[in-house]
Amino acid sequence: MEIDRERTSQDHITRKQREDKEEEEEEEEEEERVKLNPIVVLLVGAPGSGKSTFCDHVMKNCPRPWARICQDTINNGKAGTKIQCLTSAGSALKHGKSVFIDRCNLDKEQRADFLKLGGPQVEKHAVVLDLPAKLCISRSVKRSGHEGNLQGGKAAAVVNRMLQKKELPKLGEGLTRITFCQDEKDVQDTINTYNALGPSDSLSSGCFGQKNANAKIQLGIMKFLKKVDSPGDARSEANVSQKCVHNEVSKEKDHWIEGTQNCSVPSGHACEDVKDCDKVEMIADGNASDNIPTLAFPSISTADFQFNLEKASDIIVEKVEEFISKIGNARLVLVDLSHGSKILSLVRTKAAKKYVDSNKFFTVVGDITRLHSGEGLNCNVIANASNWRLKPGGGGVNAAIFSAAGPALESATKERAGSLKPGKAVVVPLPPTSPLFTREGVTHVIHVLGPNMNPQRPNFLNNDYVQGCEVLREAYSSLFEGFASIVRSYGGSSKGSSGRSVESEISPTNSGQKVKREAVYESDVNKKYKGFQKDLKPSVRNYLNGKEDLDKENGRGMTKTWGSWAQSLYNIAMHPDKHKNVVIEILDDVVVLNDLYPKAQRHLLVLAIGEGLDHLADVRREHLSLLKTMHAVGLKWTEKFLDENKSLAFRLGYHSVPSMRQLHLHVISQDFNSQHLKNKKHWNSFNTPFFRDSVDVIQEVSDHGKVVLKNEDNILSMELRCHRCRSAHPNIPRLRSHISSCQALFPTGLLQNGRLVFVPSEDGTSK
């Protein structure tokens, strides 16, 4: 009893001392912890993605103390549990060590407990090693030391399974910083970042390195807007993008109208730019309420026709100066889509030097087909940098204007002229039904053809700038004269008719409009080219009859050049009757043939008959019924094949960027069982977004008048994934072996909207 009491008392003292000591230690630890500012870094990645290697590199070189919590080895060198990892990590944090959580952490649930470690005061980072599945598989196979196929296959299966469940981390989970690594370079950069992290340093918060869907869209927009700056741009692009970043993706308005006198010469400062913005808005607001006859024109010949920019800008300023005095109060506006446009900046500088009146001539960054709706600038006349055939197509301004104006412009143009010579222009009154008329208030389009310095285009001048400059001057003269004739014909006398009167005369509701229009129809400019049209028709006919030498004279659709080997489908489309050995069906608008190198049991091509339809990029609303015909013919053949073999499934679609010229629809069974399927490009061209389902193409053309082609550069060299279960495979032979037996249901995306054509099995599934 006595002894017991004594012991109890001793126990009490010991416990008390122990508690005090622990408290002291905890306080010290806390101080140490605060001083060391430890962080938790979750590595996120499949086996073989390089998580441990990442940790090793950082722990070797980074000056702060680290603990690596590895679930694979936490149990005395063997795999342990998540609880063990959490305990161990908590303890390391208490000792002021920063912690690497070296486990896959691929889904949110797996990460959640680790994100509670150390409470909110401990920063949580994620480093996502999102490397190609193929690389992870091959590394994990290698690491296991078993290179036999069986082990390799197992590793692949494990990695695949994990990657399919992968949920990329988000800041909302409780992370303060996320770094995404998609290749070895990203990994090395991230290692360097963490190596440089001293004991009390911290890294900035946010997401880094993510190339997510959003980023792609943004890139697409940037490409679309040609925001990729050309080298030697007179303006600092950094200034420009900072200046108006709020406008870049959303609607662009006003700010981009830059008066010549406000142009910032070579080294513009940000503050000047802001000033410009303010000034510009003021001008634009003024414009919105008035209706001064205005010609918006693109720089002629400097884009696709590769005319020297310095020389072109001299000529523009010279010709503008010459005409500005002749056209009364009318205005000329040089338009370019690109913010960093060199031609605009050259012209602004030169016009400013010559004191060209900035009320009568200025430059605008914007879409020439949306100057009213997009920029608040009323332009009743726009110029088109045309091709000699005066047809839609090609890229750039010509395609944009024809597309925005709708078929009305093409027919109205046809009435005026059939073709155009370099240096000439043709004035085309825009029918009031055209969206350009109703939406943008454009009453006339003036097609103008400039000199060509591009060897890939018709009438190449072979660097002869003496002739080139002459033709370019002539082109601007023809253009401005055409514009002057419009201004005159609307009673806008060269000397000071009011803008308002012009507006009233050309208003769509005005009954006098037709008469006024007729006046323009008979302008000199037009008479001249009606004759010319007859002259050139025979050559056009020759061209249509297959004289391929004339191919190069076709100024449209020339953004892509086709090698001689790429012409066979085109030749078949032009002369189906001469290719009866390969053609299995000839209809009015389409030809059907088996693919010469089928990539599946059934693989045929429905080929469009008709000139000027090289590929999807040429497709416009006017081709909608052709697209539907092609689809219907494809479906008809699919049904025939399904009658013969109900186990097949088919997709009908187009390659975004085909190798062979002439629009062709692939009808292909989804077994992909073919000796001709040999490489990544073959696979990915049918099993990534590079393959555009016919139903989607039809929808898109119907909605937008054309196909939006996102040119993702590496899409054809992407990793190989099964089109059914989406598993990744290291090479073509392995992939083929997998798809020969994969019975997974097709992804839901394919089962929607009739993208996949098949005979449903009795349980209603796609097999």
Partner DNA sequence: GTTCTAGAAC
Residues in contact with DNA by CB under 7 A are 138, 147, 563, 565-566, 596-597, 655, 658-660, 676, 678-680, 682, 685, 717, 730-734
The answer to whether the CB of 351 falls within 8 A of the CB of 313 is no
Supply the minimum distance, in Å, between the C-beta of residue 734 and DNA. Answer: 7
User: Does the active-site annotation cover 664?
Assistant: yes
Instruction: Tell me the C-alpha to C-alpha distance, in Å, between residue 191 and each of 39, 69, 122, 195.
Output: 15, 17, 20, 6
Least Cα distance to 489 among 515, 471, 465, 511 occurs for 515
User: Which DSSP string do the residues of 585-621 spell out, in sequence order?
Assistant: EE-SSEEEEE-SS-SSSSEEEEEEPSTT--SGGG-BG
The answer to whether the CB of 54 falls within 8 A of the CB of 191 is yes
Supply the minimum distance, in Å, between the C-beta of residue 679 and DNA. Answer: 6
Burial class (CB in 10 A: 0-12, 13-18, 19+), 155: buried
For DNA, the closer of residues 9 and 679 by Cβ is 679
For residues 435 and 438, what is the distance between their CA atoms, to the nearest angstrom? 5
Supply the minimum distance, in Å, between the C-beta of residue 145 and DNA. Answer: 13
Q: Token pair for residue 232? A: 């030697």
For DNA, the closer of residues 141 and 445 by Cβ is 141
State how beta strands 98-102 and 66-70 pair. parallel
For DNA, the closer of residues 141 and 385 by Cβ is 141
Supply the minimum distance, in Å, between the C-beta of residue 160 and DNA. Answer: 16
Supply the minimum distance, in Å, between the C-beta of residue 98 and DNA. Answer: 33
For DNA, the closer of residues 204 and 565 by Cβ is 565
- Element spanning 360, H or E: none
For DNA, the closer of residues 516 and 678 by Cβ is 678
For residues 177 and 608, what is the distance between their CA atoms, to the nearest angstrom? 52
For residues 363 and 344, what is the distance between their CA atoms, to the nearest angstrom? 6
For DNA, the closer of residues 250 and 714 by Cβ is 714
Residue with tokens 């001083």: 35
The answer to whether the CB of 590 falls within 8 A of the CB of 607 is yes
Supply the minimum distance, in Å, between the C-beta of residue 324 and DNA. Answer: 50
For residues 692 and 431, what is the distance between their CA atoms, to the nearest angstrom? 34
Least Cα distance to 412 among 394, 433, 388, 393 occurs for 433
For residues 693 and 652, what is the distance between their CA atoms, to the nearest angstrom? 6
Supply the minimum distance, in Å, between the C-beta of residue 94 and DNA. Answer: 42
State how beta strands 294-298 and 177-181 pair. unpaired
- 469-487 per-residue burial string, b: 16 or more CB within 10 A, e: under 16: bebbbbbbbbbbbbbbbbb
Supply the minimum distance, in Å, between the C-beta of residue 685 and DNA. Answer: 6
For DNA, the closer of residues 215 and 596 by Cβ is 596
Residue of 664, 666, 723, 729 marked catalytic = 664
For DNA, the closer of residues 281 and 551 by Cβ is 551
Instruction: Return the SS3 of 691.
Output: strand
Least Cα distance to 665 among 612, 617, 606 occurs for 606
Which residues are designated catalytic?
664
